A and B are shown apart, each in its own frame.
Chain A
Amino acid sequence: MHKQECIAMLLAGGQGSRLGSLTRNIAKPAVSFCGKYRIIDFSLSNCANSNINTVGVLTQYKPFLLNSYIGLGSAWNLDNPFGGVHILPPFVGEHELSWYKGTANAIFQNLKFIDFFDPDYVLIISGDHIYKMNYLSMLNYHKEKGSEITISTIEVPWEEVSRFGIVSLNEEGRIIKFTEKIANPDSNLASMGIYIFNWPILKQALLEDEQDQVSENDFGKNIIPKQIELGRKLYAYKFQGYWRDVGTIESYYNANMEFLKGDEAINLFDPAQRVFSNEDILPPQYIGPKARINNSLISNGCVVLGDVSYSVLAPGAYVGEGASIKNSILLPNARVSGHAKINKTIVGENAKIMSYCSIGIEEDSVVRQAGITVIEDHYVLGKGSVIYAGSNLYSTR
C-alpha cells in the first residue's frame, strides 16, 4: 500500500433531523441540492479538485442510497488504485462497540483504516456543507505555521454567531478559545467543521477521549477544547468564499435560492473548479410550446409544459400544462400535474402533486417555518388539495 501524505475522513453519518421530512428516507449528505447535485458532491468534488485521492466516508444513518450514490467514487474521479473512496459503516469487533457515538468516536473506530495508509496529516470534513475549497491551500497553511491542528474558519454575521462553534485567536492567529453555540462570544470567526490534524496528535487525542467517561466523543465539544487546554498548537485558517451549512429547512431553501440568483453563490459554471456528480442517464430537458420559464435552473430529463419562475428543477421533474411553480424546489422526478399552483415549496423526490392543487398559500396570522412548505419524498397529493404555507406533509407507512 502506498503511503499517503494526507487522507480525508468525511463524516456522513448524521441524521440531519432538522431537515425534517427531507431526511426521513435518506441520509442528509445524499439529499438533492440545486438541481442535479446531492449535498455530498461538494465535499467529494473538493477532495478531487485538491488532489486528495483517499477518502474514508463514515456512514451510519440510512446509508443505502448514499452508498449506492457514491459507489466506487468514479463520478468524482476518485476511483484510483492507490487510494480511492472507502465507505466505512459501523462494525462489530471483539471489543469495539458497533454504532458511532459521535464524530470523534466514528474516527476512533476507524483508526486501523487510517493506519493502513499511514498518512502525515488527516483532513476531517463533513458531508453536509455547500462550498468550494482547495484543501491543499489549508494544508500548506498548516505546514507553514508548524501547526498541530488547524481549523478552517469563516467570518459570520454577528447576529448569527450563536449558531456556530466560535474560535478566539491571539495576535499571531493561534487559537486560544473554542466555544460551541453560545450567546455573545468574543469573536465572529466560526469553525466550518473542517480540521487538519497531524496524524500522531489525532491518534493520541482520540485514544485519550475514548478513556474519558463523560465525553460526548465530539470534535467541537470535546476534542478541540481539550487540545487547547493541553497547550497544543492550534491555528485558524481563514477561508474566504461561499460556505453554507444546510442543516435546516430554511438554510437549505435559502442556499438553493442563492445559487439561483447566482450573485453571491459560488459559480457552478467555473470550469477550473467543477462540481462533479453521479448523474442519471437522462435526455436533455424538453420545454413545451406553452411553457414560460424565467430565473430558474432546469436539469436534464425535465419536461416543462407550464410556468416556472424563481425555481430549481432537479433531473426528471415534470411540470404539467397550466401549472405554475414559483419560488420552489422540485427534487428529482417530482411530478406536478396540470393547473397545480405551487409557491415556496420543496417537493420531495418522486412526489406527485395531482392537478388543481394549491400549495403554499400564505395565511395572514402566523408564519411557520419561514413560510416554506415541504412535501416528503414519494408523497402523493390528491387532486385539488389546498395546503397552507409552512406545512410539512409526511408519507404514511
Chain B
Amino acid sequence: MQNAIGILFGNNGSDSLSLRGLTSERSIAAVPFGGRYRILDFALSSMVNSGLWTIGLITPRHYRSILDHLGAGKDWFLDRKSGGLFILPGAIHGLSGENGKFRLKDLQLNIEYLQKDLSENIIISGCNHIFNINYNEALESHRNEKADVTLIYKESTDLSAMKGKERLVISDNQDVLDILDVSDTNSTIACPRKQNYFLDMLIIRRTLLLEIVDGYRSIEAINLIEAIRENIRTLKIIGVPFTGYFGVINSVKDYFDRSMELLDPIICREVLMGHDRIHTKIVDNPPTKHGNQAITANSIISSGCIIEGEVRNSILSREVIVEAGASISNSIIMQKCKVSSGSRLDHVILDKFVQVYPGNILKGNKNSPLVVLKGSLV
C-alpha cells in the first residue's frame, strides 16, 4: 500500500464532440475500448496496480455510464472499509463549455476529499488515454528527489500522435525548467524534433495541492498545470519519463487507429497481458462460441459472442452475434450488436445494441470509419 491517493479527472478531454456519435451520450472516459474494457479502465487500473487504495473520480457531464460501469468499485478491489472509490462531482462550467483539463474548480468543490486524507502525495491523471503504467518508479523518484511536483512525460518525435499535449523543457538532472503551452510555438528547445510531451499524469504533494487550490480560489477558469507553471521558479518540479505505450485519442480516426493497434501482438502483450492487468467490470458470460462456418482471423473477441460468420481484423465486445454468411472486416463492434446474415461491414464502428439487417453493406474507410449510433437498426 502506498502513502498516496489518486485523483482521476473523468472530465479531461470530454469537452469537444471529437468522437462525434460515440460521445454524444457518454464521456470519452466511458467509451468502450479493446473489446471488454472502457477507456477509463486503463487509468484506473494503473492506479490500483500501483497499490493505491483510495481513488477519487471527478465526474464529467454525462456520467451515468461511468457510474453504471464502476458501481462500488468492486471489480477494481475498491470496495473498501477505509478508502476505496470516491465519486467526486465535477463542476458545471456553463456556457464556457467543458474545455480544459485538471481544472482547479473541480478540486475546490471536492476539497474535503483532499483535506481528510493523511497521505503525503496525490497521483493525478486523466482517463482519456490508453496506457498501462506502474507509478512506483515515479513515486520513488518523487520521494528521493524530495520533489514538490513530478510530471510524467514521453519523448516523441511524432507531433500528430501527441496532439494537444504540453511540452516540457527538462534539464540534464531531470528538473523541469519550463512547461510550454500547446499553442506556444516559440521553440526554446535545443533539439526541435524530439520533444518531451507531458502525458497528463503527475504526482504532487497533498499539502501543496491544498495551498494551490486555496490560493487560486478567486480565479474562475484556471487549471492545475497553469498554476504549477506560474510557480515554476519556486517549486521543485521533476520529470520522469515513461517509455511504454501511450495512446492518445482526439478523434474517431484516433479511436479507430488505437483500437486496431491492439491487434499488434507486441502492444497487446504490453498493455493487456503483462504483470499488471487492466481490470474491468465483470459480467458472467459463457465462453465465445465459434460455429461450424465461422472464420475468424487476426481479431480480438470478448466472451459471450456467437460467431457463425466471418470476422477479420476486428475487435468484438461482449455478446456480439455474427450470423452465418455475415462478414466483418476492419471494424469495431460493441456490446450486444447483431450482424445478420449476408451483411458486410468494412471499416465500421458499431456502437452498442446496433442491429444490422440481412444483406446490408456498410462501408467506411481508413481515414473516416463509419460510426453507427447506439441502438440503431440499419
Interface residues of A (CB under 8 A from B): 34-36, 74, 262, 268-269, 274-277, 279, 281-301, 308, 312-313
B273 touches A293 (CB 8 A): no
- With CB as the reference atom, state the residue of chain B lying closest to A286: B300
In whole angstroms, what is the CA distance A281 to B284 when docked?
A: 12
B47 within 8 A of A: no
Taking CB atoms and an 8 Å cut-off, the chain B residues in 150-192 that contact chain A are none
Question: Who on chain B is nearest to A280 by CB?
Answer: B277
Q: How large is the interface on B (under 10, 10 to 19, 20 to 34, 35 or more residues)?
A: 35 or more
- Does the CB pair B287–A294 fall under 8 Å? no
With most chain B CB atoms within 10 A of its CB, the pick from A284, A299, A312 is A284
The residue of chain A having its C-beta at the shortest distance from the C-beta of B265 within the complex is A286
Instruction: Contact check, A300 vs B302: say whether CB atoms are below 8 A apart.
Output: yes
Looking at chain B's contact residues, the main secondary structure is: loop
Provide the residues of chain A in CB contact with B316, threshold 8 Å: 284
Task: Give Cα A298–Cα B311 distance, bound, in whole angstroms.
Answer: 15
Kindly list chain B residues whose C-beta atoms are within 8 Å of the C-beta of A298.
287-288, 290, 301
Known pairs A276-B284, A281-B277; A294 contacts B300 (CB<8 A): no
Query: Once the chains bind, are A297 and B286 in contact (CB under 8 Å)?
Result: yes
Q: B296: which A residues are within 8 A, CB to CB?
A: 287, 291, 293
Q: Which residues of A contact B263 (CB under 8 A)?
A: 286
In whole Å, how far is B70's beta carbon from the nearest beta carbon of chain A? 16
If A284-B34, A287-B296 touch, whether A295 touches B287 (CB-CB below 8 Å) is no
- In the complex the two chains form, is A300's CB within 8 Å of B292's CB? no
Once A285-B300, A287-B301 are accepted as A-B contacts, the answer to whether A279 and B273 lie under 8 Å apart by CB is no
Query: Which residue in chain B gives the minimum CB-CB distance to A305?
Result: B265
Contact of B273 among A283, A288, A308 (CB under 8 A): A283
Q: Report which B residues bind A (CB closer than 8 A).
A: 34-36, 74, 263, 265, 268, 272-273, 277-279, 282, 284, 286-304, 306, 311, 315-316
- Asked if A274 and B284 sit within 8 Å, CB to CB, the answer is yes
Given contacts A268-B286, A285-B300, 8 further A-B contacts (CB under 8 A): A34-B286, A283-B268, A284-B302, A286-B268, A289-B297, A294-B290, A294-B293, A298-B288
Q: Nearest residue in B to A284 (C-beta to C-beta)? A: B35
Whether the Cβ atoms of A288 and B294 lie closer than 8 Å is no
Whose C-beta in chain B lies nearest to the C-beta of A297?
Answer: B287
- List, sorted by A's number, 26 A–B pairs whose CB atoms are closer than 8 Å: A268-B286, A275-B286, A283-B34, A283-B273, A284-B301, A285-B288, A285-B301, A285-B302, A286-B263, A286-B300, A288-B297, A290-B297, A292-B295, A293-B294, A294-B290, A294-B291, A294-B292, A294-B293, A295-B290, A297-B286, A297-B289, A298-B287, A298-B290, A299-B287, A300-B302, A300-B303
Given contacts A283-B268, A284-B35, contact A269 B300 (CB under 8 A): no
For B282, B287, B301, which residue has the most chain A Cβ atoms within 10 angstroms? Answer: B287
Q: How far is the CB of B116 from chain A (nearest CB, A)?
A: 27
Closest to A315 in B: B287
Closest chain-A Cβ to B251's Cβ sits at a distance in Å of: 24
Contact in complex: A36, B303 (CB < 8 Å): yes
Given contacts A288-B297, A296-B290, A312-B287, contact A269 B306 (CB under 8 A): yes
CA distance A301 to B315 in the complex (A): 14
Contact pick for B292, options A292, A295, A299, CB 8 Å? A295
